[in-house]
Amino acid sequence: MPLSCGLEQLTVIRHGQSMANVLFAEAEPDAGVRELAESGDARVPLSPLGRRQAQATGEWLAALGPDDRPHLVLCSPYSRALQTWEGITSVLREPPPPMLVDERLRDREMGTLELLTPSAVRARAPQEAERRARVGEWFYRPPGGESLADVTVRLRDLLVELRDAAAGRRVLMVAHDAVVAAVRHALAGLGSPAPDLLPVPNASISRWAGGNGRLWLVEYGSTAHHSPVQGLSDGS
């Protein structure tokens, strides 16, 4: 039974490529990630590619017709999401819609494993790596952190609040891959099984259309607005 949510449209954009995304993709990234960890996951910035991706997403938004443009933007408080919204607005030709920061759109909290690569987790906490594999990614909760099921609970709370606060409006969110997956699961509603973890590329667009008090998935993790000529693909 899908979640009741009377928005006209919901769009969720994952942030552009971050410096942590770059380092995690390298063969031996642990040292560089440790440098990022000193300031914390919430302050990880976009990479140069991520900034270009944000601007390309802004061009997509600028090209929308008046019947598709968002009335309201909600953004994660994390630096990479805020910088993505800044990049989007930098190319808009009209004043952007109002933006609110909501902490429920923050990335999945990884607790003691924050900004540890898989190789670092296997080296420092092999029992956690084994438990993660045994429990499965959706339900695994790292020490002091959240499972994706936990993220879904806080996103469901936000969607229920939007049902009343933004009924009949078009809402855009700028957040993280965990948020996109959690929104998808929350909107599926009562009795829905944990979804397969489909890839959510950087600066991708996921959209739901509203009707009869429900939201229906239109596209998920789309990067059609990325131009190969501009080299905007990060391989994720």
Residue 229: both structure tokens together = 């000529």
Look at residue 28 and tell me whether its pLDDT is greater than 90. no
Average pLDDT over residues 1-28: 90
Average pLDDT over residues 137-143: 96
Look at residue 64 and tell me whether its pLDDT is greater than 60. yes
Least confident of 41-45, 117-121, 131-135, 148-152: 117-121
Look at residue 32 and tell me whether its pLDDT is greater than 60. no
pLDDT at 236: 44
- What is each CA distance from 35 to 20, 32, 40, 42, 46, in whole angstroms? 10, 5, 9, 14, 15
Residue 72 phi, psi (nearest 5): -150, 140
Q: How many CB atoms lie within 10 A of CB 213?
A: 13
pLDDT at 120: 85
Average pLDDT over residues 41-57: 97
Residue 162 phi, psi (nearest 5): -65, -30
Average pLDDT over residues 147-158: 97
**Helical H segments across the chain, by residue range:** 19-25, 30-37, 48-62, 79-89, 118-124, 126-135, 148-165, 177-188
Average pLDDT over residues 142-163: 97
Look at residue 66 and tell me whether its pLDDT is greater than 80. yes
Asked if 41 contacts 230 with a C-beta cutoff of 8 angstroms, the reply is no
Q: Provide the mean pLDDT of the chain.
A: 92
Average pLDDT over residues 20-33: 72
Say which amino acid occupies 50.
G
CA–CA gap between residue 130 and residue 135 (Å, rounded): 9
Asked if 47 contacts 232 with a C-beta cutoff of 8 angstroms, the reply is no
pLDDT at 179: 98
Look at residue 147 and tell me whether its pLDDT is greater than 90. yes
Q: What angle do CA 142, 186, 82 make, to 5 degrees?
A: 70
Residue 104: both structure tokens together = 């429920």
Q: Return the higher-pLDDT residue of 230 and 47.
A: 47
Structural element, H or E, at residue 107: none
Q: Please give the torsion angle defined by the CA atoms of residues 19, 179, 149 and 5, in that order, rounded to the nearest 10 degrees.
A: 180
The predicted-structure confidence for 70-124, as pLDDT tens digits, reads as follows 999 999 999 999 999 999 999 999 999 999 999 999 999 999 999 988 888 888 8
Domain boundaries, the chain: 9-230
Instruction: Name beta bridge partners: 120.
Output: none
Residue 17: both structure tokens together = 């490529």
The predicted-structure confidence for 188-221, as pLDDT tens digits, reads as follows 998 899 888 889 999 999 999 998 889 999 999 9
Select the CATH number that applies to the domain covering 9-230 from these four: 3.40.50.1240, 3.40.50.300, 1.10.240.10, 3.90.1010.10: 3.40.50.1240
SS3 string, 144-209, reads: CCCCHHHHHHHHHHHHHHHHHHCCCCEEEEEECHHHHHHHHHHHHCCCCCCCCCCCCCCCCEEEEE
